[in-house]
Structure 1
Amino acid sequence: MATGLESNMTWLNKKLKADQNFDVVYRVIHVGGKNACIYFIDGFCKDELMQKLLQQFMGITAEDMPKDAHEMAKSFVPYVEVDLKDSWEEILYSLMSGVFALFVDGFDKCILIDSRTYPSRGVEEPEKDKVLRGSKDGFVETIVFNTALIRRRIRSTELVMEMMHAGKSSKTDIVLCYMDNRVDHAFLEKIRDRIKHIQVDALTMNQESLAECLYDRKWYNPFPKFKFTERPDTASAQVLEGNIIILVDNSPSVLIMPTSIFDVVEEADDYYFPPITGTYLRLSRFIIAVLTYLMTPTFLLLMKNPDLIPRGFEFIMVRDTVNIPLFWQFLILELAIDGLRLAAVNTPNMLSTPLSVMAALVLGEFSVNSGWFNSEVMLYMAFVAIANYTQSSYELGYALKFMRILNLILTAVFGIWGYVGGIILCILFMFTNRTVSNQSYVYPLFPFNAKQLAKRLFRLRLPGALDPVREEKK
């Protein structure tokens, strides 16, 4: 950066393409008898604040005019977030992020005033991570608001919010959030180093793009390597447990790492209810997850081998005429359910109710009466489709779906040996999966730790919870 205002403006106007970009605004003013110029991005700065700052700058007399940018920032910039930069790279990054820039003729540094404000929606409960009881706030697309929601819950000096950037063009803001006295510093340094060496043009899909850059091993393993949440209370709890959460600008979700299969299954409702209720909810999710995987392959196996049906369960046999093999019925319905899910996402709200009724009729009564599907197949697939929503993680739901389809194929081709082989493959996928910190994905099941496993399966009392009766006796 030069000291002459004219040369700085010439270089900056060319770099910013000020004559082409309508939202790049600059204005030449007089400050204390010197020429000065302000630069900002329209839509990022607060108009009322800018007006007051301009009044302050234009009111400076030649006698009071400081000799350098440092003195001016101290004496004549009535704002909290002020910085001085002389590097064009840092100035351009700040300016394109929405920071107000002031250049004064003869000053060798630019005065940066962080008066930006981003368009954002209100803090409200996320659509996906809803709870029956508990706080109703959620993360938004503005990273500063998200860090404030965590700071509000953890008022400790050990809480660290470390800012980083990634993407040559996007220069996306990334925040590493952790407790300095609880985090694994070796793992933290590993994550920090990976983010520094990300060689991408932009994090187009925000946290998903970042996740793919951080974990590049065994892409074929469908089980989730990260846990995503839009709830500040869940994120804060993970930070207090010594984990790292990563916040990405423009994303209402945060990444939690390291993450095991038990972390993915956990939900906030487990802790917003008494221990016995929380334990029931958690165990229910585990059992339902197993059932969603085994339901249709087991039914297909029993239909192919009626002699395996236990006594008293003969009623599960298909009584109607089977026009299409059961295996193909299951595959068609697996695809149809995803089609309905995609249609529901893209359906306008005013049409969602009539289309839901139409889909229920077509895929329900009409599809059975027409002979395409058998009622038993429809029943089991309906259970699987609904049970998938007991998991808060989309990734885990689709992982179970892929494993279920693989088991269906193996069972249809190889019978009982294919069924057993499919289960073994699913277990191998889970046991060979590794977290980002290269730890076991199924710990504390393997390596086995009975005490930690009990904590994972059962919702115990919070550590340090006092027994009032015992306290009175003391």
Structure 2
Amino acid sequence: MAVFKEIFSHCSDLVYRKIEIEGRQAYVIYLDGLIKTEDLQNHVIDEVLARKQVGQLSVEKVEEEIVTVSAVKDQSYLEDAANDILEGNAVLTIDGHNKGIVFSIPGYKTRGVSEPDSEAAIRGPREGFIESLRVNTSLVRRKIKTTNLKIESMKIGVQTQTNIGIAYIDGIVDKNVLKELKHRLDRIDIDGILETGYIEELIEDNSWSIFPQIQITERPDTAAANLLEGRVAIFVDGTPFVMILPSTFWQQFQASEDYYDRVYIAIFLRVLRLMFVAVALMLPAFYVAVTTYHQEMIPTNLLLSVAAARESIPFPAIVEAFIMELSFEALREAGVRLPKTIGQAVSILGALVIGTAAVEAGIVSAPMVIIVSLTGIASFTIPKFSLAIAIRLLRFPLMILASIFGLFGIVVGMVILLIHLCKLRSFGVPYFEPVAPLRFSELKDVFIRTPIWMQNSRPDDFVKENKKRQANDLKPSPNKNEG
């Protein structure tokens, strides 16, 4: 008992519950707020006090016959017992015994399972991950009911001792990727892990790249679908975000409802996203280049209209573009940080008021307001936020290149960008796969989404052995009954 008081000195939330039975002392030790005290009283303390004979009060008897808690284990090492207390368990120590008993009676408050805000869907499940590791793994277990789904546990963080869950499907996952992942996780030596972003930066292939090399999701159905394709999921206790790896560039354009809607709807939406990512990336730079260097590309009537709108503007097109783009980004950030009830209203009204006032004051032109608005709308069509914000940042250096070199600068910038994307790897998998290197057989789920009955095999780079995911004759056919 004295050792526990020394380990947890100056910890006001630690509770010592003393029990005396015929002169022998026992202590129940736990952290207030982490366990359910009613269950502790009813299933542990009351049951122990009901035994009046000292001979019956042994560790083995308590574990096997007395307490009525389902998750019970004995612990011989003080450090491990202290860690059990920190994880939200209660420990019972009995004088004269060199072992303690650990009871799992979780009672800390958690958020209920609800639809994730970052990946809303029209059609599909309405459940999302929460901040509890075990709740999150159970949500995936509900969707993949096989013993081949393995979830290995480890702890990272010297001070936080954060629980990590590594999920994969045995027989489908690439063993080399799994081995490399465990090696990178074992190398992490840090004080604390509070969110998946800590681990993401420490295990990705190229930490200086602006592009996300690990997919982040809040949806259990997305995690389950990626596990079935041979990827690995990393669960981190304390965050609703789950990491999926390896990841590719094209994976960031896929939404869960692409596979729930009709195939023609999915194809239209997929193509629409790919078109508008080009708009979000290059439209401001293209406008700057054309209005500055290549006016001959604009039809005469439109050129006269643009020239009339810009006649009273004191700034060049690049300065005008930067003023509006930075203002739009500031409004978007303010809308996120403000309370939800007023955040959207402030961002929308702010954009309208500032845009109108700026045009009337002659600071920016009306065409530039239209360009910035289209760019902002286009960036919202990208399903994954991490890729969307990367595209938003990349348009600024493209605008600078366009202001210096015109369209040639945009071409040079895009070539450099494509070279970087082709060089990237995600745990050994080419980031631009299956476009670079080109694999025609895997283009069924990149620019378009083919019917489910055509997707018979898993991606080659993710699966080395069990590549077949379904039968070859699943194409629906009418049942023709004679007579």
Tell me, yes or no, whether TM beats 0.5: yes
Bigger mean CA offset, 84-93 vs 404-413? 84-93
The residue number in structure 1 matching 2:238 is 250
Please give the per-residue CA displacement for 1:390-415, whole angstroms capped at 9, x wherever unaligned.
Answer: 11222211221232111111111122
Q: CA deviation at 1:316?
A: 7.0
Q: CA deviation at 1:33?
A: 5.7
**Distance in 1 between residues matched to 2:341 and 2:435, nearest whole Å:** 48
2:202 aligned to which of 213, 223, 226: 213
Kept after mapping to 1: 8 A contact 2:359/2:365: yes
Kept after mapping to 2: 8 A contact 1:222/1:398: no
**Distance in 2 between residues matched to 1:288 and 1:10, nearest whole Å:** 66
The residue number in structure 1 matching 2:6 is 14
Q: CA deviation at 1:59?
A: 1.2
Kept after mapping to 2: 8 A contact 1:84/1:109: yes
Return the letter of the residue paired with 2:336: V
Kept after mapping to 1: 8 A contact 2:36/2:108: no
Kept after mapping to 2: 8 A contact 1:168/1:201: yes
2:393 aligned to which of 390, 393, 402: 402
Percent identity between the two aligned chains? 26
Q: Does 1:141 align with 2:131?
A: yes
Q: CA deviation at 1:372?
A: 0.7
The residue number in structure 2 matching 1:303 is 291
**Cα distance change on mapping 1:335 and 1:48 into 2, 3 Å:** same
Where do residues 26-425 of structure 1 align in structure 2 (5 Å cutoff)? 26-31=16-21, 34-52=24-42, 53-62=44-53, 65=56, 67=58, 69-204=59-194, 206-215=195-204, 217-304=205-292, 305-309=294-298, 314=303, 317-320=306-309, 321=311, 322-349=313-340, 351-352=342-343, 355-356=346-347, 358-425=349-416
* RMSD across aligned positions (CA): 2.1
Please give the per-residue CA displacement for 1:235-258, whole angstroms capped at 9, x wherever unaligned.
Answer: 111111111111111101101100
Q: Secondary structure at the match of 2:308?
A: coil
**Distance in 1 between residues matched to 2:21 and 2:190, nearest whole Å:** 42
Please report the TM-score for the alignment, with normalisation by the length of structure 1: 0.92
Kept after mapping to 2: 8 A contact 1:31/1:59: no
The residue number in structure 2 matching 1:6 is none
Q: Secondary structure at the match of 1:173?
A: strand
**Distance in 2 between residues matched to 1:276 and 1:351, nearest whole Å:** 37
**Distance in 1 between residues matched to 2:438 and 2:305, nearest whole Å:** 38
Q: Secondary structure at the match of 1:307?
A: helix
Q: Secondary structure at the match of 1:469?
A: coil
**Cα distance change on mapping 1:360 and 1:338 into 2, 3 Å:** closer
**Distance in 2 between residues matched to 1:443 and 1:416, nearest whole Å:** 28
**Cα distance change on mapping 1:96 and 1:353 into 2, 3 Å:** closer
Please give the per-residue CA displacement for 1:341-386, whole angstroms capped at 9, x wherever unaligned.
Answer: 1211222345446634641343221110101111111101101112
Q: Secondary structure at the match of 1:119?
A: coil
Please give the per-residue CA displacement for 1:164-187, whole angstroms capped at 9, x wherever unaligned.
Answer: 110000001111111111111121
Kept after mapping to 2: 8 A contact 1:222/1:395: no
Q: Does 1:462 align with 2:460?
A: no
Q: Secondary structure at the match of 1:431?
A: helix
Q: CA deviation at 1:473?
A: 6.7
The residue number in structure 2 matching 1:431 is 422
**Distance in 1 between residues matched to 2:314 and 2:233, nearest whole Å:** 52
Q: CA deviation at 1:64?
A: 5.0
**Distance in 2 between residues matched to 1:445 and 1:335, nearest whole Å:** 33
**Distance in 2 between residues matched to 1:265 and 1:353, nearest whole Å:** 25
**Distance in 1 between residues matched to 2:300 and 2:362, nearest whole Å:** 29
**Distance in 2 between residues matched to 1:315 and 1:332, nearest whole Å:** 23
Return the letter of the residue paired with 2:350: A
Q: CA deviation at 1:39?
A: 0.4
Q: Secondary structure at the match of 2:452?
A: coil
**Distance in 1 between residues matched to 2:290 and 2:415, nearest whole Å:** 19
Kept after mapping to 1: 8 A contact 2:165/2:235: yes
Runs (5+) with no aligned partner, structure 1: 1-8
Q: CA deviation at 1:208?
A: 0.3
**Distance in 2 between residues matched to 1:31 and 1:371, nearest whole Å:** 86
**Distance in 2 between residues matched to 1:63 and 1:107, nearest whole Å:** 13
Q: CA deviation at 1:312?
A: 8.2
**Distance in 2 between residues matched to 1:472 and 1:94, nearest whole Å:** 64
Please give the per-residue CA displacement for 1:308-362, whole angstroms capped at 9, x wherever unaligned.
Answer: 3368865774422132111011112221122111211222345446634641343
1:449 aligned to which of 416, 423, 439: 439
The size of the alignment, in residue pairs, is: 460
**Distance in 2 between residues matched to 1:312 and 1:450, nearest whole Å:** 44
**Cα distance change on mapping 1:146 and 1:318 into 2, 3 Å:** farther
Runs (5+) with no aligned partner, structure 2: 454-469
Return the letter of the residue paired with 2:136: N
Q: Secondary structure at the match of 2:446?
A: helix
Q: CA deviation at 1:31?
A: 4.7
Q: Secondary structure at the match of 1:220?
A: coil
**Distance in 2 between residues matched to 1:220 and 1:193, nearest whole Å:** 21
Please report the TM-score for the alignment, with normalisation by the length of structure 2: 0.90
